[in-house]
């Protein structure tokens, strides 16, 4: 004990002999800085588990002490090297103290427990706009092909138009809707569909960045294709069967694309008409909300891919397809309208 | 908020003062940050693309190897071959999707908020408002990457293979995608489209060690006159010729300068204050002068008087 005191006073005497006040300031505090630097370095290397509890608890205190040291040094010291060091260390520890602290699991729980549905409800207006655009697109596609069946070839890319062309027989069309396809390939097909659709949805969202117009065009184009196809089947009295074939996965997939488009329009609208916020602030608020919706869209598209790849081929009758498709649609609607309401009151 | 004079009035911080910004921490302390230069961003991106491509390449090779293994195993009956083939194809499609979309997400959500490419060039993502970098922000900034990066790549490949596209549509499309790709060059914060939407920016990492005390020999006062630096005594007049800028230049020379630089600086100071330059003793002379000058300027600082450089008078 006595020896400690002796060393302590000896150190103090050492410091008090230093000529410059700002150097004394530094010598008195540099042990704390070095400790903080060591903690920060460990955490940056991803070794935060190796730190002792003491160090982890000390981090916020050391960080605040460092910030006050920095403020004092800026006013009192002309040692540029010292100030540079303090600036750098402050920034590094700031990023750790205010880093992304939610774990993936907790974030996911919050996301499913209301974050997702709240975000969807927040872009309601854009969902109605996107829905209107999609219905209009389908109607235009239908009307164009009904007026002149040559439009079909302009709207539908070659890969879909195998036998499903204007003037095809009822037998041929029915064959595309029912009948067991090669069941071995279903998993691959589902994965391919998911990857493809997810990329389309991401595109629909990302294009919203350019004032929403490309998003809207993409929605119109995709739905016009659908409308044209509907006309082909309607000509042979297969409307109900075609809608059933489409519904089993389409309720989920089209809903997801609707949400992606709406999210894109939401961002585009925020950039074009930011309201009383600045353009940048409005864009980033809308972008974060839309990002949540987009994570949900990807999840919905995984479901849609599975339904399209497996359920559509396995449920081979129209009634069953309607039941599955609209049952799932009902589930989505209840989830989006209902989930996460109770958090609203308690100040989120 | 971006008023640079608020924090560090007279110090040149980096080689590119155009990229210096101030970010206010939640405690209210302004922190100096430096925006990552466009070149660093491009370099990091190029590295990331190479990493993603090589990941895809290795997965493809691994799949092919397994396939070859199955081919040997099922050589007799190709009927049973379809099952494992399907599983492999699913794995391949899903992993390519993940590499393309989740690589950036995973790394930017980590503690260092930087992909491998960004780490290599020493930059990271941060929230523009000084708050926490949220998961939503990282998702938003990376989802837009699709139009900015992959779309132009796909577009370029298509136009180079398809002869049918008319030159007008090709050029219009090219300019459109180029607009997104070059977006960071057209704003002062080097924001990408994704940064704009997510409220983030990309800044340089700083890693500076705490150097020694600048002038160790002159720093300690001793009662007896054993300290060689105490041979030099400067008058107020000798010290009033320089300001903070010169002090920090002298600090740099003392910290890193060669013997030659020391000699040059010592002789020019001697000339300025009308002393006869001695030889062989430059470092001790400079340390003594540095300490005396800094003591004088810091004393002024405590009374609110600062002097920028030798041309200005103290305020």
Q: A209-213, B134-138, B234-238, B274-278 — which one is most confidently predicted on average?
A: B134-138
Determine the average pLDDT of the residues in B232-255: 78
Whole-angstrom CA distances from A170 to A153, A156, A175, A235, B28 are 19, 19, 8, 9, 73
Q: How, if at all, do strands B20-24 and B30-34 pair?
A: antiparallel
Nearest CA in chain A to B220: A18
Q: Would you call A52 helix, strand, or coil by DSSP? A: coil
Separation CA B103–CA B149 (nearest Å): 14
Nearest to A206 among B133, B143, B219 (CB): B143
Cα B271 to Cα A15, A96, B208, B247, B293: the distances in Å are 34, 50, 35, 17, 16
Cβ–Cβ gap B89/A188 under 8 Å: yes
B202: enclosing H helix or E strand:
strand B200-204
| Sign (positive or negative) of CA dihedral A140, A143, A148, A150 | positive
Long-range CB contacts (< 8 A, 24+ apart) of A331-335?
A332/A251, A332/A252, A332/A255, A332/A300, A335/A117
CB of B156 within 8 A of CB of B121?
no
Cβ-defined contact of A20 to B25 (cutoff 8 Å): no
Chain A residue numbers with beta carbons less than 8 Å from the beta carbon of B139 are 291-292, 294-295
- The pLDDT of residue B161 is 58
In this complex, is the C-beta atom of A66 within 8 Å of any C-beta atom belonging to chain B? no
Among residues B134, B142, B119, which one has the least CA distance to residue B205?
B119
Q: Mean pLDDT throughout B81-103?
A: 78
The DSSP code for A17 is T
Please tell me which of the candidates A18, A82, A283 has its beta carbon nearest to residue B197.
A283
The answer to whether B173 and B90 have CB atoms below 8 angstroms apart is: no
Given a cut of 50, whether residue A101 has pLDDT beyond it is yes
Show which of residues 248-267 on chain A sit within 8 Å of chain B, judged by CB atoms: 267
Nearest chain B CA: its distance from A96 CA (Å): 7
CA B292/CA B234 separation, integer angstroms: 7
| Contact assignment for B248 to A78 by CB distance below 8 Å | yes
pLDDT for position A3: 46
Alpha-carbon distance of B271 to B264, in angstroms, equals 11
Contact: A17, B90; criterion CB under 8 Å = no
Chain CA centroid to CA B21, Å: 12
B310's tokens: 């030798």
CB contact under 8 Å between B94 and A191, yes or no, is: yes
Question: B135-143 vs A279-306: helix axis angle to the nearest 10?
Answer: 80
Contacts of B145 in chain A (CB under 8 A): 206
ipTM, interface predicted TM-score of the complex: 0.79
Under the banding of pLDDT at 50, 70 and 90, the label for residue B55 is very high
Rounded to a whole number, what is the distance in Å from the CA of A228 to chain B's nearest CA? 25
**Beta-carbon pairs below 8 A across chains A and B:** 214
Alpha-carbon gap: A99 to the closest alpha carbon of chain B (Å): 6
CB proximity list for B49: less than 8 A, separation 6 or greater: none
pLDDT band at B50 (very low <50, low <70, confident <90, very high): very high
User: Residues of B with CB below 8 A from A67's CB?
Assistant: 25, 27, 29
B135: nearest Cα among A109, A291, A57, A137 = A291
B65 CA to chain A: closest CA distance, Å? 19
Give the model confidence (pLDDT) of A296-321 as tens digits: 888 888 888 778 777 777 777 778 88
Rounded to whole angstroms, the maximal C-alpha distance in chain A is 104
CA distance A2 to chain B (A): 26
Interface probe with A: pick from B144, B222, B250, most Cβ of A within 10 Å: B144
Of A72, A145, A100, nearest in space to B127 by CA: A100
Least confident of A2-6, A264-268, B114-118: A2-6
Q: Are B31 and A71 in contact (CB under 8 A)?
A: no
pLDDT at B58: 93
Query: What local confidence, expressed as pLDDT, does residue B79 receive?
Result: 59
Task: Looking at chain B, list the stretches that DSSP marks H as alpha helix, in order from N- to C-terminal side.
Answer: 38-73, 82-108, 116-121, 135-143, 145, 151-161, 167-181, 193-198, 216-219, 236-239, 244-256, 259-273, 282-302
Residue A160 pLDDT more than 80? no
User: How far does CA B135 lie from the centroid of its chain?
Assistant: 22
The mean pLDDT value for A199-215 works out to 72
Picking from B156, B144, B155, B154, the residue whose alpha carbon sits closest to that of residue B180 is B144
Q: Tell me if B111 and A295 make a contact (CB, 8 A cut-off).
A: no
Minimal-distance CA residue of chain A relative to B218: A19
Rounded-to-integer distance, Cα B106 and Cα B265, Å: 52
Distance from CA of B109 to the nearest CA of A (A): 7
How far apart, in Å, do the first and last CA atoms of chain B sit? 24
Q: Residue B197: pLDDT above 90?
A: no
pLDDT-derived band at B57 (thresholds 50, 70, 90) equals very high
Q: How far apart are CA B237 and CA A274, in angstroms?
A: 60
Helix (H/G/I), strand (E/B), else coil: B91: helix
Residues in chain A within 8 Å Cβ distance of B134: 100, 288
Among A residues 160-199, those touching chain B with beta carbons less than 8 Å apart:
184-188, 190-192, 194-195, 198-199
Give residue A347's pLDDT: 41
Q: Give the closest residue to A119 by CA, choosing from A318, A329, A295, A321.
A: A295
Q: What is the pLDDT of residue A346?
A: 44
Taking residue B309's Cβ as centre, other Cβ atoms within 10 Å add up to 14
Q: Which of A167-176, A263-272, B86-95: highest mean pLDDT? A: A263-272
Q: Give dist(CA A293, CA A117) in Å, integer.
A: 8
B7-16, B286-295, B300-309 — which one is most confidently predicted on average?
B286-295
Which residue among B147, B205, B298 places its CB closest to the CB of A20?
Answer: B298
Give me the residues paired with residue B31 across strands. Answer: B23
Q: Does B298 sit within 8 Å of A64, measured CB to CB?
A: no
For range A150-165, the mean pLDDT: 66
Of B198, B211, B255, the CB nearest to A284: B198
Q: Is the pLDDT reported for residue B8 higher than 50?
A: no
Report the distance separating Cα A93 and Cα B133, nearest Å. 14
d(CA A106, CA B81) in angstroms, rounded, equals 42
Pick from B27, B111, B137: CB nearest A288:
B137
What does the DSSP assignment read for A247-302? HHHHHHHHHHHHHHHHHHHHHHHHHH--TTS-HHHHHHHHHHHHHHHHHHHHHHHH
Tokens at B22, concatenated: 């101030």
Can you give the pTM of this predicted structure? Answer: 0.77
Contacts of A154 (CB under 8 A, 6+ apart): none
Structure-model confidence comparison of residues A1 and A127, the more confident one = A127
For residue B33, which residues of chain A lie inside 8 Å, CB to CB? Answer: 91
Tokens of A230: 């509907």
- Whether residue B116 has pLDDT greater than 80: yes
Instruction: Give the span between the Cα atoms of B288 and B276, in whole angstroms.
Output: 16
User: Could you read off the pLDDT of A285-296 as tens digits, one per residue?
Assistant: 888 888 889 888
Residue with tokens 């596609």: A141
Facing A294 at nearest CB: one of B8, B139, B147: B139
Question: How distant, in Å, are the alpha carbons of A62, B132, B205 from that of A67?
Answer: 9, 17, 18
Contact B29 A90 (CB under 8 A): yes
A257 contacts A172 by C-beta, under 8 angstroms: no
Within 10 angstroms of residue A189's Cβ, the number of other Cβ atoms is 21
**Integer Cα distance of A284 and B128 in angstroms:** 10
């Amino acid at each position: 004990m006595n020896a400690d005191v002796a060393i302590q006073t000896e150190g103090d005497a050492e410091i008090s002999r230093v000529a410059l006040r700002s150097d004394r300031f530094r010598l008195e505090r540099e042990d704390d800085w070095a400790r903080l630097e060591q903690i920060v370095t460990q955490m940056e290397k991803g070794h935060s588990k190796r730190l002792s509890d003491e160090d982890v608890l000390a981090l916020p205190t050391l960080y605040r002490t460092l910030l006050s040291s920095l403020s004092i040094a800026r006013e009192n010291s002309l040692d540029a090297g010292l100030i540079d060091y303090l600036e750098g260390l402050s920034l590094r520890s700031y990023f750790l103290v205010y880093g992304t602290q939610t774990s993936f699991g907790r974030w996911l729980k919050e996301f499913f427990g209301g974050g997702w549905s709240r975000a969807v409800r927040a872009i309601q207006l854009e969902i109605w706009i996107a829905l209107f655009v999609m219905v209009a697109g389908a109607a235009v596609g239908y009307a164009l092909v009904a007026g002149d069946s040559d439009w079909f070839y302009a709207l539908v890319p070659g890969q879909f138009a195998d036998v499903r062309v204007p003037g095809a027989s009822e037998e041929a069309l029915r064959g595309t809707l029912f009948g067991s396809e090669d069941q071995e390939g279903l998993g691959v097909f589902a994965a391919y569909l998911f990857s493809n659709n997810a990329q389309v949805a991401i595109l629909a969202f990302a294009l919203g960045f350019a004032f929403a117009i490309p998003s809207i065009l993409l929605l119109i184009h995709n739905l016009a294709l659908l409308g044209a196809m509907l006309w082909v089947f309607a000509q042979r009295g297969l409307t109900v069967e075609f809608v059933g074939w489409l519904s089993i996965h389409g309720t989920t997939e089209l809903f997801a694309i609707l949400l992606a488009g709406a999210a894109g329009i939401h961002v585009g609208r925020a950039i074009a008409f930011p309201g009383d916020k600045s353009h940048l602030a409005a864009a980033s608020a809308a972008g974060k909300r839309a990002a949540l919706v987009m994570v949900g869209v990807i999840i919905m598209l995984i479901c849609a891919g599975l339904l399209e790849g497996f359920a559509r081929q396995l449920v081979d009758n129209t009634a069953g397809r309607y039941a599955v498709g609209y049952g799932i649609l009902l589930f989505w609607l209840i989830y989006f309208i209902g989930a996460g309401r109770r958090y609203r009151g308690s100040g989120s | 908020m971006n008023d640079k004079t608020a924090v560090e009035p007279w110090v040149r911080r980096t080689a590119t003062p155009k990229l210096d910004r101030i970010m206010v921490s939640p405690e209210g302390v302004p922190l100096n940050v430096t925006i990552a230069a466009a070149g660093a961003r491009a370099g990091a991106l190029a590295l990331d693309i190479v990493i993603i491509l090589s990941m895809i390449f290795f997965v493809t090779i691994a799949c092919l190897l397994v396939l070859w293994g199955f081919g040997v195993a099922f050589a007799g009956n190709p009927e049973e071959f379809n099952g494992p083939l399907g599983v492999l194809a699913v794995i391949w499609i899903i992993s390519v999707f993940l590499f393309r979309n989740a690589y950036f997400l995973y790394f930017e959500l980590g503690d260092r908020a930087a992909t491998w490419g960004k780490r290599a060039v020493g930059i990271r993502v941060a929230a523009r408002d000084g708050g926490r970098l949220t998961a939503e922000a990282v998702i938003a900034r990376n989802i837009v990457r699709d139009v900015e990066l992959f779309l132009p790549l796909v577009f370029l490949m298509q136009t180079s293979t398809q002869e049918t596209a008319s030159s007008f549509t090709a050029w219009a499309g090219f300019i459109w995608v180029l607009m997104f790709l070059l977006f960071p060059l057209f704003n002062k914060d080097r924001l990408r489209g994704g940064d704009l939407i997510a409220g983030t920016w990309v800044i340089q990492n700083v890693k500076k060690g705490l150097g020694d005390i600048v002038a160790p020999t002159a720093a300690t006062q001793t009662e007896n006159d054993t300290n060689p630096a105490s041979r030099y005594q400067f008058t107020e007049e000798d010290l009033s010729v320089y300001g903070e800028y010169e002090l920090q230049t002298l600090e740099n020379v003392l910290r890193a300068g060669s013997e030659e630089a020391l000699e040059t600086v010592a002789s020019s100071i001697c000339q300025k204050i009308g002393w006869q330059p001695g030889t062989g003793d430059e470092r001790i002379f400079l340390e003594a002068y540095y300490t005396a000058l800094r003591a004088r300027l810091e004393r002024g600082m405590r009374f609110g008087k600062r002097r920028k450089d030798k041309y200005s008078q103290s305020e």
